[in-house]
Amino acid sequence: MSSPSSAPPRRRAPLCYRFGVALAPDTGGRAELAAAIESAVLAEGCAVTFAETTGSVTSEAAAARTLRAQGVDGVLLAPASGDDTVVTELVRIGLPTVLVDRLAPRDDVDQVGTENIESTSELTEHLAARGYRRIGLLAGPPGDGDADERSLGYRLGLGRAGLRWDAALVVRGGSPSAAGVLLAERPSAVVVAGEGMLGAVQAEARDRGLRIGAELGLVCHGDTGRAREADPPVSALAPPFGDIAHTAVRLLLSRIADPARRPRTVRLTPSFAHRSSCGCPAQGSSTAAASSSSQAPS
C-alpha cells in the first residue's frame, strides 16, 4: 500500500490568450464598446491589443495585418460596411474571429450585435402610436446587414400600425444629401437607422425651420452623445455594449477551445432611451419602445 505523497499538489496554470480588437473608436458608441471589450477580456484573465481603424476596408485590412503580426490568438472585429474581404481572409486562414456590433449577412463566422428587426419595428410603431402617419426612414446602403434588417423592421412596424409603405419616404445610402432628399418628401417623423446619420437629419431639420419633437418626430437606432445632448434629446435605442462584449469574448474562447464548432450569430435586445424628440415627455429607459396615446402632427 502506497502512502500519500507529501509534495504539494500541482496546479495547472490558467491559459492566457491575447486577443486583438479592430474597430474605429471615435464613431458612434465605439469608444464605449472598446471599453466594454477591454473589461470583458481582462475579466477572463486574458490580454488585449487594440488596432484602430477608420471604418474603411483598407484600414481594417491594415489593422488585421498588424494584429496577426503580433501573434494574437483571436480577433474581435467591428467590420466595415459593404465589403467583407477582411472577414473572409480571417476565416480562410483559420484565425478565431468574432464580429461585434455590426452583423454581416454570412454564416461562417461568429457574430454578436444588436437585434435589429423587432427593435426597429417597435421604434416605428411608437411613432405611429403618437399619431404620425408619414413616417420616413433614413438607412445605410443595401447590402449592409444592419441596415437591411432595420429597413425590414421599419416596414414591419408600418404594417403592424396599419400604415402603407411609401418608397418616397425611404432613403438608403450614406451620401451627405440623403437627409435632404428624405425631408424634401415632408415626412411627419423619421426613423434614423444608424447613429452616424443622425447629425445630418438634425442639421437638415434646422435648416428647414422644423422643430424636432413638435413639427418633426425623430427616433434613432443607436444612442450616442449627439442623441443624449441634443435639444431636444433624441429618443434612441441603446446597444447593450456590456453584454455584446462579454458574449463576444466567450464566443472567442469557445472557438479557440472547439475550432470545429458551428458558428453562432447572437442578437441582443437594445434598451429604449425614451426622450422628447418623438413628441413625448422624456421617460427614461426601458427594453422596449413603449407606445403613447398622445397625438402628434400626422
CA distance 30 to 246: 15
Q: Nearest CA to 191 among 132, 233, 268?
A: 132
CA distance 75 to 145: 20
Cell 458574449 sits on residue: 247
Looking at the structure, do residues 22 and 131 belong to the same domain, yes or no? no
Looking at the structure, do residues 103 and 245 belong to the same domain, yes or no? yes
- The one-letter amino acid code at 206 reads R
Instruction: Name the percent of the chain lying above pLDDT 90.
Output: 74
What pLDDT sits at residue 7? 44
The answer to whether residue 293 sits within a structural domain is no
The answer to whether residue 292 sits within a structural domain is no
What pLDDT sits at residue 81? 76
Looking at the structure, do residues 124 and 229 belong to the same domain, yes or no? yes
Q: Could you tell me the residue range of the domain that residue 89 belongs to?
A: 18-114+240-269
The answer to whether residue 5 sits within a structural domain is no
The answer to whether residue 13 sits within a structural domain is no
Looking at the structure, do residues 182 and 80 belong to the same domain, yes or no? no
Q: What is the phi/psi pair of residue 150, to 5°? A: -70, -35
Looking at the structure, do residues 83 and 228 belong to the same domain, yes or no? no
Cell 396615446 sits on residue: 293
Which strand ranges, in their side-by-side order, compose the sheet holding 271-274?
170-172, 135-139, 189-192, 217-221, 235-238, 271-274, 284-286
Looking at the structure, do residues 110 and 138 belong to the same domain, yes or no? no
pLDDT tens digits, one per residue of 110-162 = 999 999 999 999 999 999 999 999 999 999 999 888 999 999 999 999 999 99
Q: What is the phi/psi pair of residue 226, to 5°? A: -60, -40
What pLDDT sits at residue 8? 43
CA distance 241 to 250: 14
The answer to whether residue 169 sits within a structural domain is yes
Looking at the structure, do residues 223 and 248 belong to the same domain, yes or no? no
Please state the domain count of the chain. 2
pLDDT tens digits, one per residue of 212-253 = 999 999 999 999 888 999 999 999 999 999 999 999 999 999
Q: Nearest CA to 116 among 193, 36, 212, 27?
A: 193
Do the Cβ atoms of 130 and 279 come closer than 8 Å? yes
pLDDT of 208 strictly over 60:
yes
Instruction: Name the percent of the chain lying above pLDDT 70.
Output: 88
Looking at the structure, do residues 210 and 278 belong to the same domain, yes or no? yes
The CATH number that applies at residue 40 is 3.40.50.2300
Looking at the structure, do residues 71 and 145 belong to the same domain, yes or no? no
Looking at the structure, do residues 244 and 259 belong to the same domain, yes or no? yes
The answer to whether residue 215 sits within a structural domain is yes
Radius of gyration of the chain (CA): 22
The answer to whether residue 12 sits within a structural domain is no
pTM: 0.85
